Structure 1
Amino acid sequence: MKSLPGLLSSRDPGWTEWADVIVVGSGIAGLTAALRLRGQVERIAVVTKDVLAAGSTQWAQGGIAAALGPEDTPEQHEVDTLVAGAGACDLDAVRVLVTEGPDAVRELIEWGANFDKDPEGNLSLTREGGHHRDRIAHANGDATGAEIQRALIEAVKRAPEILVFEHAMVVDLVTADDGGIAGLTIHVMGDGDDDGVGLVRARAVVLASGGLGQVFSQTTNPSVSTADGMAIALRAGARLRDLEFVQFHPTVMYLGPDSRGQQPLISEAVRGEGAFLVDWDGERFMQGVHELADLAPRDIVSKAIMKRMLETGHPNMWLDARHLGGEFWQRRFPNILASCRSHGVDPVTDLIPVAPACHYASGGVHTDLWGRSSVPGLYATGEVACSGVHGANRLASNSLLEGLVFSRRIADVLPGELRPLGEPARHVGAAGVVPGTALKEVQETMSSRVGVLRSSTGLTEAVELLGKIASTSAGAIDPAAWETTNVLTISLALAEAALRREETRGSHWREDFPDRDDAHWAGHFDAQMTDGATAVSFTPSPATDTDTHEGAAR
């Protein structure tokens, strides 16, 4: 694969800080880790590229999944998660998620998160795609993420021992002579020159920086989701896993062929409340595709929409929720209602145009059951991580739960594993960046060739085109160049893994290899970088046999 910068170009650090633990990211995963670590370590720093509330957690609509209902069990939640994961889940990780999840949600409530209740005062639980039980707790109708973010930020503000760096972009991780973590370099936006940075020395770093949504032209992710955490981990020597398993949400509002960036999400919970998909002739096309029809796992629904679009030549399908009524819309989905109306669509009276768009990265920094990466002193949690719970396709609303559960686990072990405050080693690899103006070309290449439907021809072209971009050098060294280099770094690794996985599994859909192939591809593609060169290799593992258990959750 084409060599990339092993370090981002920047000036030498002009200032120095220190912390026992640096948490990169301020969503549910990052703030949970910071809050759980307080009182266990002397000094905690939270670094976030925007304000505390700007990450993906804020945008989560549907809710958080856990076996909290009277008829539900962790075992049923486990089966649904494994079925969605299409044989690529880590069974032990899934069991950790579903068994520890209910207590993690209860702790979130103790921290001040207010979830919706039924008239009897119990949690109001709903259902989303792939779930056989009502187990999705939600807040303010469709503003679950915003409520969780509010509660966590308020808790952090009550913790003076947590130092917060807002508008601060991490440039690179800093390692010691033994290859372990010694800190990181950051650039505080608007503080000095564009390429001026500071050094924050640390005994451990927890990556909780979110996903890679901006790798693609259309995404539900905010603009800050430029794969920074995955890229800095890769450059520091960490192993990344399952990058090819990118989930495309089936019901993203279609705004036209020229729309780019963050697109309006129409939560799966809308279908959970009775909405259904139709084509341009008004036909319900999910009937007979899957036993759960419109509430099938996301990869199934996305593929069905794409197939119908390809068959009919239309650029989108439609979501029909008119029968829910205006009062129900206003009470249950007020924010989605307002978003639709702001784009000229009233879901009370109109069909909602929808098409799949990039939503979630099931892969990321490979971790064990306690959030440890392959680099000593580096931990990862949330969407930046690959804990093994999502496999080839994340079950709806398991993402917020994963951030909660595995951040708690990191806090359980990290204080006893703190490294000495090490001296940064001298980096011997070549530093560099690509032009920030190349971002659009990278995104267009990924969307057109590495999107929902993939093929050998398109993926080979993508690797070649991205390699050409990697050979360009930037005139300006600034945050735009850093972000674009991060996006390109992960795009190349993702495209290479997708090219080499010659099967269809979960969210990875190959038109030239349309079947799941456990005989050859039961396992994981791992990416690691040495001196700027990324190697992608296959690690075989036994397939998780979920097909025979699909009925167990009913």
Structure 2
Amino acid sequence: MTSGVPQSILDALTDVDMPKLAPVAPAEETMRLSGFAVPVYRAGCVVIGSGAAGLRAAVELKRRDNDVLIVSQSAWGGTSACSGSDKQTLHTANTADQGDNFKAMARAIRAGGAMDEDTAYVEAVGSARMMASLQFLGLPLPQNALGATLRYQTDHDEVGRATSCGPRTSRLMVKVLGQEALRLAIPLFNHTTAVKLLTEGDGAQRRIAGLLAVRPHERTHDNPYGLTLFVCDTLILAAGGPGELYRDSVYPNGCFGSLGLALEAGIALVNLTESQFGIGTRREGFPWNLSGTYVQAIPHIYSVDSAGVEHHFLGEIYRSTQEMASNIFRKGYQWPFHSERMLDFGSSLVDLAIVRESAAGRRVFMDFNRNPLAVPGDLPFSLDRLDEDVKTYLGKAGAKQALPIERLAHMNPLAIELYRRYKVDIARSPLEFAVNNQHMNGGVMVDIWGRSSLAGCYAVGEAAGTHGVTRPGGAALNAGQVFGTRVAEHIDASGLARQAPHRGPSAAADQAIKDSLTLLQPDGGLDVRSVRHAVQARMSDEAGLICFPDRVSAALREARQLNAEIREKGLAFERAAEIGRVLQWRQMALASEAVLAALDHFIRQGGGSRGARAICDPLGDCLPQARSGPLENFRFRKEQDAHRQEQIVLHYDGDIFSITTRPNRRFDEAAKSFFERDWPAWLTGEIYGLDQGGDA
């Protein structure tokens, strides 16, 4: 069971040590706000989040001589640094040998619908620069002897644009970008929790003014909560997605994202109906996506009931051993659940079957030391009896070994090494897993430069709602790098971040502290653990990959009631050190209501099943089949073509959500640039649209 790759190389790609942070200088000023002695830091731009997208934005700003600092709840502790899969995908630039071009790549990126066409083209054309710059910084992307990047096919990708450094690709991205940030001496405020965006002005003149944060390092007798003020003229939301929103989640613990911050600041959000779900190990142990070679090795998948009895449940779903084994394999590059793949005995029946087993109280495992059992009454598993696409792939990979663990060791030994680092030896024991929430495709509505609806505030990475319904595997990593660079270019062109502002803190700072103190009620407030349980259980049970209209509506009413109680009673805490997390759960409860409000609106407007969710309806025209017959309980609505051409926009104002739709921005593929005509717009900065508001 050897791969031929030296152990030292496997170790280097699995155990990725992160750079040591430099200390930040103490605040040079302190102000009295709401009775507290609050330290004040100033910067031209504040970046919230230290993942790959936030680091890219900060590095590109600093390279252009802008004044920038980073605020991070846990440096090297977010999804970029801690998440991944078998050979975590980076969606790369187009290449002629793949018969591809930027316009074709853009069409693939936006193929799921509800995505702006210009944004897709921006991501496609920016991918070449993104990949080259990461290689320049030292990201070890694999090449052949002639210097061509090695690529493979991944989900929602028919051409094969994916590449990988192994399971730690995004962590390696964070490492090289973090090293560059340290070389550039960008201050990184670690263990700092953003709790409130500060604004000034009204109406069209309203803009970002700063950030209220909680920083334990700043706790004093005159500031027991560690309240900290950051004054800035521009701010970038890059804190990732709402990982704590779901109980069944593959996010690392403590990932709250930026949605609640943005909502409370009145920033427009978009496409909150669109998420991504797929199989992976739960975060209670070691959270990791089980895509790629984990399932392409075709392990045996089974469940165990409370009495310890094994159930070959996939044998009850698929009609033949060949069909079952081939669809287990396809979860490698069809990893996210997709409603249409429940039809015609497709690969998402695997996800549905696992959800049914979990709902029945059974635990689900994959065993790499056993080939799949036969479907009852059918021939046993054989590598010679697989669908043609599966046989071709395994043949090209040379994966003809007798057992799944041997095939996995041949195709990707790092997949085995990774779990061993976390005391799980899949070469010896079965691996427990489930279907989990993995990514938010919606988020802050932005234009082609990453501008939000709040002047001076930008969003990048998973915080930005740019992805539409589906996205090719790894496209999110690409998008974060492309838009991290574009946001920096736009801010630099504006000149707003060249130096730190000298103005005093706005009145909003004092009000934000008062509002936070009103919410914090140590004696009579709601218990945060109960709030967490209510939010996560509601989202996993009623707003996961299988949705029923009446239950979504009921869940929305419950979420509204919870937020009303939070506003009325506040949230309890026992120690001053807890208030950052307490305020984050207020934001998460709000984000939960926002997602449910958008989803309920979509369903009531006749919205059908697309991407991550099946909208079940007894009158639906799509009916999944199992070997035993139709699965009537999971009959679902078909997606309406018109909904692919628009996006759902949500605002929060005065404790009320307003929901509208807007058409996708278009991109004219026939339009061509002309050097002499278009160069002046670049020279003068006209391309940045600085005299206009964001057209998000």
What TM-score range do you get, normalising by the shorter chain?
Answer: 0.7 to 0.9
Deviating more after overlay: 350-359 vs 301-310 = 301-310
Counterpart code for 2:337:
D
CA contact (8 A) 1:28 1:152 kept: yes
> Larger relative contact order (C-alpha < 8 A, sep ≥ 6)?
1
2:135 counterpart SS class: helix
- Pair 1:448 & 2:541 matched: yes
Deviations 1:240-294 (A, max 9, x none): 001111111x2213x6xxxx65753234232686547856256465689899675
Q: Matched residue pairs, number? A: 521
| Offset of residue 435 of structure 1 | 4.4
**Residue of structure 2 aligned with 1:526, choices 649, 653, 658:** 649
Alignment match of 2:662 (pick from 539, 543, 551): 539
Deviation of residue 123 (structure 1)? 2.7
Q: 2:61 aligns with which of 33, 37, 41?
A: 37
**Counterparts of 1:43 and 1:37, CA distance in 2:** 8
Using the TM superposition, name which of 399-408 and 129-138 deviates more: 129-138
Aligned to 1:339: 419
Q: Does 1:509 align with 2:614?
A: yes
1:63 maps to what in 2?
A: 89
Partner of 1:147: 172
Distance 1:522 1:21 in 2: 35
* Matches of 1:50 and 1:342, distance apart in 2: 20
Partner residue in 1 for 2:395: none
| Amino acid paired to 1:201 | V
Give the match's secondary structure for 1:536.
Answer: strand
Residue pair 1:330, 1:337 contacting (<8 A) in 2 also: no
Amino acid at match of 1:236: A
Among residues 292, 296, 300, which one is paired with 2:334 in the alignment? 296
Q: In the alignment, does 2:391 pair up with 1:365?
A: no
In structure 2, give the amino acid aligned to 1:306.
D
Give the aligned CA root-mean-square deviation in angstroms: 3.3
Structure 1 residues 263 and 490: alpha-carbon distance in aligned structure 2, compared to 1, 3 A threshold: farther
Q: CA deviation at 1:525?
A: 1.7
Residue 120 and residue 42 in structure 1: after superposition, are their counterparts in 2 closer, same or farther (change >3 A)? closer
Alpha-carbon contact 2:94-2:161 (below 8 Å) kept: yes
Shift of 1:226: 1.1
What's 1:88 paired with? 114
User: Residues 494 and 95 (structure 1 numbering): CA distance in 2 closer, same or farther, change over 3 Å?
Assistant: same
TM-score, structure 2 normalization:
0.68
Q: Tell me, yes or no, if the aligned pair for 2:298 and 2:325 is still in contact at 8 Å.
A: no
Partner of 2:241: 211
The structure-2 alpha-carbon separation of the partners of 1:543 and 1:120, relative to structure 1 and needing over 3 Å to count, comes to closer
Query: Where do residues 426-505 of structure 1 align in structure 2 (5 Å cutoff)?
Result: 426-427=507-508, 432=519, 435-437=527-529, 438-470=531-563, 471-472=565-566, 473-476=570-573, 478-502=579-603, 503-505=608-610
**Tell me, what secondary structure is at the counterpart of 1:232?**
helix
Alignment of 1:47-446 (within 5 A): 47-51=71-75, 53-58=76-81, 59-61=83-85, 62-67=88-93, 69=95, 71-72=97-98, 73=100, 74-83=102-111, 85=112, 87-118=113-144, 122-139=148-165, 141-160=166-185, 162-177=186-201, 178-192=205-219, 195-227=225-257, 229-248=258-277, 250-253=278-281, 261=284, 264-270=287-293, 275=298, 280=312, 283=321, 295-296=333-334, 298-300=336-338, 303-309=348-354, 316=364, 318=366, 323=403, 325-326=405-406, 329=409, 332-334=412-414, 336-339=416-419, 342=422, 346=426, 348=427, 352-387=431-466, 390-419=467-496, 421=501, 424-427=505-508, 432=519, 435-437=527-529, 438-446=531-539
Q: Quick check: 2:198–2:212 contact (8 Å CA) kept in 1?
A: yes
Following superposition, the deviation at residue 480 of structure 1 comes to 2.1
| Secondary structure of the corresponding residue to residue 125 of structure 1 | coil
Distance 1:542 1:182, change over 3 A: closer
| C-alpha distance in 1 between matches for 2:133 and 2:189 | 26
334-343 or 530-539, which deviates more = 334-343
Within 2, Cα distance between the matches of 1:119 and 1:11?
Answer: 66
**How does the TM-score come out when normalised to structure 1?**
0.84
Residues 1:277 and 1:244: Cα distance change in structure 2 (over 3 Å)? farther
CA contact (8 A) 1:276 1:294 kept: no
Preserved contact between residue 235 and residue 532 of structure 1 (Cα < 8 Å): no
Answer yes or no: is the 8 Å Cα contact 2:355–2:435 preserved in 1. Answer: no
For the Cα contact (< 8 Å) 1:287–1:294, is it kept in 2? Answer: no
> 1:125, CA displacement in angstroms?
2.2
- Please tell me the residue identity of whatever aligns with 2:419: S
Q: Residue in 2 aligned with 1:551?
A: none
3-state SS in 1 of match to 2:444? strand
Q: What SS does the aligned partner of 1:183 have?
A: strand
Alignment CA distance shift 1:452-1:311 (3 Å): closer
Q: Indicate the SS of the match to 1:372.
A: coil
Larger Rg: 2
Secondary structure in 1 matching 2:134: helix
CA contact (8 A) 2:337 2:351 kept: no
SS in 1 for 2:279: strand
What fraction of aligned residue pairs are identical, expressed as a percent? 20
Q: Please state whether the residue corresponding to 2:178 is helix, strand or coil.
A: helix
**Residue type of the partner of 1:136?**
A
Q: CA deviation at 1:467?
A: 2.2
Is contact 1:28–1:149 with CA below 8 Å preserved after alignment?
yes
- Displacement, 1:327? 8.3
Q: Secondary structure at the match of 1:391?
A: coil
The aligned counterpart of 1:27 is: 51
User: Against the structure 1 CA distance between its residues 35 and 338, is the aligned structure 2 distance closer, same or farther, given a 3 Å change threshold?
Assistant: closer
Deviations 1:115-136 (A, max 9, x none): 2334555433232222223322
TM-fit CA distance, 1:441: 1.9
The CA deviation string for residues 459-513 of structure 1, in whole angstroms up to 9 with x for no partner, is 1221122223211321337012111111111100001111121221211321125
1:454 is displaced (CA, Å) by 0.9
Shift of 1:39: 3.8
Give the Cα–Cα distance (whole angstroms) in 2 for the partners of residues 10 and 504 of structure 1.
49
Q: Which amino acid aligns with 1:465?
A: E
Residues 21 and 543 (structure 1 numbering): CA distance in 2 closer, same or farther, change over 3 Å? Answer: closer
Cα 1:131–1:48 change in 2 (3 A) is same
Q: 1:136 to 1:106 in 2, by over 3 A?
A: same
1:288 and 1:501 map into 2 onto residues whose CA distance is 34
Say which SS state the counterpart of residue 110 (structure 2) adopts.
Answer: helix
Q: Which runs of 5+ in 1 are unaligned?
A: 1-8, 545-554
Whole-angstrom CA distance in 2 between matches of 1:43 and 1:540? 37
Task: Provide the rounded CA distance (Å) in 2 between the counterparts of 1:530 and 1:23.
Answer: 25
Conserved? CA contact 2:610–2:639, under 8 Å: yes
Separation of aligned partners in 1, 2:45 and 2:284:
33
Corresponding residue SS for 2:180: helix
